[in-house]
Chains A and B, each alone.
Chain A
Amino acid sequence: MNEFVLIFRRDYITKETQPSPQELQDSLKLWQDWLGGIAAQDKLAKPLQRWDGEGKIVTTNKNVINGPYAEIKEAIGGLIMIKAADYDEAVAIANGCPILELGGNVEIRMAVTGTY
């Protein structure tokens, strides 16, 4: 068993591509069902945590600007940590993520052990 972080990103600024209020509301059930399904398999590696919408960015020049966007127009919507046997399984789980229905994407990274 390995641990993976799944990071959800989507474009929160381009007006034309934003989901409607109804679509957002409908996605709530999808999120709960997807997360519940992972939890039912006992594959949540860490408790869930929500993150605020403000954010700060520290740039290369050590400037601090208001977040949450870095250079790209996509912002992190959230992240979870799961348990899965390998990347194939993590990908299969990520395939059900509702952010995909909202035009976003999921980045998957495997945790490595060893000293920092």
Chain B
Amino acid sequence: MEESQLLPNLFRTEYRKIVSVLCYLFGIDNIEIAEDITSDTFLAATELWSVKGIPENPTAWLYTVAKNKTKNYLKRNSVFEQKLSVEIKHTANKSEEIEIDLSVKNINDSQLAMIFTVCNPANSTEAQIALALNLLCGFGIQEIADGFLTNKEVIYKRINRAKEKLKEANIKIEQPTISEINNRLETVLTTLYLLFSEGYYSTSQNTILRKDLCAEAMRLTFLLIENPTTNLPAVNALLSLMCFHSSRFDARTNENGETILYQDQDETLWNQELIEKGQLYLVKASTGTNLSKYHLEAGIAYWHTQKEDTPEKWQNILQLYNRLLILEYSPIAALNRTFALAKTNGKKEAIIEAEKLNLTNNPFYYSLLGNLYTDIDNKKAIGNFEKALQITNSPADKATIIKNINLIR
């Protein structure tokens, strides 16, 4: 057993469970106490286990210590404990002590309550993601800073401001009611999708961290699916979409960290298990009357798992993009739709449609035009690629564009 590996993974997995249960117990005003008690638990683990070795059941050890530290804290702060007793409608159980329930059920309930607390529109999505990574996923400030390609102080401030806003708004950490789920699910799903995108599209070179971000987003989405009240079609569609995208993670970059475009990817590196999972969740999502954008994106992602270039594939992708754009416009969808149009109706028609998009601040717009003009009007192709080169900030994209220019020359 790699002892050096055990503690970090255990820390993250169990930290978020314990901190969720304690936050749920203590409420939003006392998040810091919940975090402190949890951190102290892991500090104790680090100190003791390095001397005495890892206990036989590390999880049970952590839970016992966390419970004891909580009880001690409540004893020393009897006023606090009384406030808690009043707020938590304690059952008729005459026990004087507040039971810290670390059962699987309570852990899941606490995490669900925390997801809805953290994904609150009172904060910007940037802040929600940072808070989610910290509280829901057990990421440290430095890790989050690395993921966002910024520094510790920025993330520290962002998280603290986010907590302050929740306190000011008097947010209750509680099980979401059905009506709350209806109102807030969209925000929650948006945040989870953005968290996933952080990992998937990030320009950070840290592949392991990026995979972790995607995995965390998927885990949280799965948590929603495991809970009957939030196990809704749109949520299954989102998880399906994440599975399909993740299946290509290993094929998307080469050893030098360069991005490999879809058409150049080695499909033997595509993860079949994830593709199958994606299909499973897509089937589960295909119920009810509500067609969400996640359904459409999952459909598009599904077709991309079929590498063969058939007319049926691109016709389906085009129609899905049509519906997606009609539902909600986005520049990326507009560009991708035009690419699909080229595959179904030919490059000449796609060029006409592409020129209408007029996304002059977007490097991908010029890359698309470059791609469409290739072999139709190579002078214009190179012109567009060069414009893309001028405005892109991504070194990986620069390399791809240069490659495309050289292919023409």
User: Hey, which bits of chain A sit against chain B, CB under 8 A?
Assistant: 29, 32-33, 35-37, 39-42, 44, 47-48
Question: B299-338 vs A: 1/0 string, CB under 8 Å?
Answer: 0000000000000000000110111011101000110011
Q: Is the CB of A44 within 8 A of B356?
A: no
The 6 residue pairs across chains A and B that have the minimum distance between CB atoms: A36-B322, A39-B325, A40-B334, A32-B322, A42-B329, A39-B326
B269 within 8 A of A: no
CA distance A35 to B324 in the complex (A): 11
Contact B318 A40 (CB under 8 A): no
Name B29-86 residues within 8 Å CB distance of A.
Answer: none
Q: Given A41-B356, A42-B334 in contact, is the A32-B325 Cβ separation under 8 Å?
A: no
Whether B325 lies near A29 (C-beta < 8 A) is no
User: For residue A40, which residues in chain B have a CB less than 8 angstroms away from its CB?
Assistant: 321, 325, 329, 333-334, 337-338, 353, 356-357
Give chain B interface residues in 356-371, CB to chain A under 8 Å. Answer: 356-358
Complex alpha-carbon distance, A62 and B356, angstroms: 47
CB within 8 Å of A: which B215-252 residues: none
Q: Does the CB pair A35–B326 fall under 8 Å?
A: yes
CB-defined A-B contacts under 8 Å, sample of 20? A29-B319, A32-B319, A36-B321, A36-B325, A36-B337, A39-B325, A39-B326, A39-B329, A39-B334, A40-B321, A40-B334, A40-B337, A40-B338, A41-B357, A41-B358, A42-B329, A42-B334, A44-B326, A47-B326, A48-B326
Given contacts A39-B325, A41-B358, 9 further A-B pairs with CB under 8 A are A33-B322, A33-B341, A36-B321, A36-B337, A39-B329, A39-B334, A40-B337, A40-B356, A41-B356
**What is the CA–CA distance of A48 and B333 in the complex, to the nearest angstrom?**
18
Interface range, B side: 10 to 19
Hey, which bits of chain B sit against chain A, CB under 8 A?
318-319, 321-323, 325-327, 329, 333-334, 337-338, 341, 353, 356-358
On chain A, the residues within 8 Å of B353 by CB distance are 37, 40
Give, as a whole number of angstroms, the nearest-CB distance from A19 to chain B.
21
CB nearest to A37 among chain B residues: B353
In the complex, what distance in Å separates the CA atom of A97 from the CA atom of B358? 21
The listed residue (B318, B329, B333, B334) touching A33 by CB distance below 8 A is B318
Whose C-beta in chain A lies nearest to the C-beta of B326? A39
B312 to chain A, nearest CB (A): 13
User: Which residue of B has the minimal Cβ distance to A93?
Assistant: B356
A8 CA to B326 CA, complexed, in Å: 18
**B325, B327, B329, B333 interface centre (most CB from chain A within 10 Å):** B325
For A33, A40, A41, A48, the residue with the greatest tally of chain B CB atoms inside 10 Å of its CB is A40
B340's closest neighbor in chain A, by CB? A36
Tell me which of B318, B321, B329 contacts A44 (CB under 8 A): B329
A91 to B319 alpha-carbon distance, docked (Å) = 25
A42→B329 CA distance, assembly (Å) = 6
> Do the beta carbons of B326 and A36 come within 8 Å of each other?
yes
Q: How far is the CB of A35 from chain B (nearest CB, A)?
A: 6
Inter-chain contacts of B326 with A (CB < 8 A): 35-36, 39, 44, 47-48
- A32 to B316 alpha-carbon distance, docked (Å): 12
When distances are taken between beta carbons in the complex, the residues of chain B under 8 Å from A39 are: 322, 325-326, 329, 334
Residues of B within 8 A of A44 (CB): 326, 329
Closest chain A CB from B350 CB (angstroms) = 11
- A5 and B353 CA atoms in complex are apart in Å by 22
**Chain A: CB-nearest residue to B334:** A40
Q: Closest CB-CB distance, A64 to chain B, in whole Å?
A: 31
Most A CB contacts (10 A, CB to CB) among B318, B322, B334, B337 go to B322
| Cβ of A90 to closest chain B Cβ, rounded Å | 14
A39→B321 CA distance, assembly (Å): 10
| Nearest CB on A from B352, distance (A) | 10
Considering the complex, give the chain B residue whose CB is closest to the CB of A41: B356
CB-defined contacts of A35 to chain B, threshold 8 Å = 322, 326
Which of A29, A32, A36, A44 has the most B CB atoms < 10 Å from its CB? A36
* Contacting pair B334 A41 (CB below 8 A): yes
| CB contact between B323 and one of A29, A32, A37, A42 (< 8 Å): that residue | A32
* Chain A residue with the shortest CB-CB distance to B330: A42
A8 to chain B, nearest CB (A): 16
A81 to chain B, nearest CB (A): 13
